[in-house]
Amino acid sequence: MKVYLSAVADMQNQPTLPPGCFIAQAIGESAGGTLPASALSAIKKASEKTTSFLNDFFQREIEAGSLSDNKTADIYTRYTFTVIQGMASMARGGASREEMDDVIDLALHIFEG
C-alpha cells in the first residue's frame, strides 16, 4: 500500500501537470449535473476500474492473512479510495509531497491493525 499510495501522490504532484487528479475533480463536478452523459459514463468507468482493482487486491491480502479479516475488502477499498480522493484535494490546494507522505504514513496504520 505504501508503494501504491506513494505512486498516486507522485502522479498528483507532477510539476508539469495540474495538481490533483482529473477523475477526483470530475467526480466532484458530476454532482452539479452539468457534465454530459458521455463524460459521466467515462468518469464512472474509471472510478469502477480503480475500485475493482483495489477490491481484488484487498481480497487477496485478506485471504493471504496479510490483513485483518474483521474488515471486508470493500471497506478497505472505500477507505483507500477516500484517502486517494483526499490526497487529490491536498495536491490541488498546494500541499507539499512531504505533507502527503504524512497522510500516507497515518493511513498505513489502518492496514497494520
Nearest-angstrom CA–CA distance, 63 and 57: 10
Q: What tens digit of pLDDT does each residue of 22-38 get?
A: 677 767 666 667 778 88
Q: Contact 11/84 with Cβ under 8 angstroms?
A: no
Q: What tens digit of pLDDT does each residue of 90-102 get?
A: 999 999 999 999 9
Residue 21 pLDDT level (bands cut at 50, 70, 90) = confident
At residue 17, the pLDDT reads 80
Percent of the chain with pLDDT over 90: 50
Q: What are phi and psi of 64, to 5 degrees?
A: -80, -5
Q: What tens digit of pLDDT does each residue of 68-77 get?
A: 778 999 999 9
What is the number of H-type helices and E-type strands within the chain? 5, 0
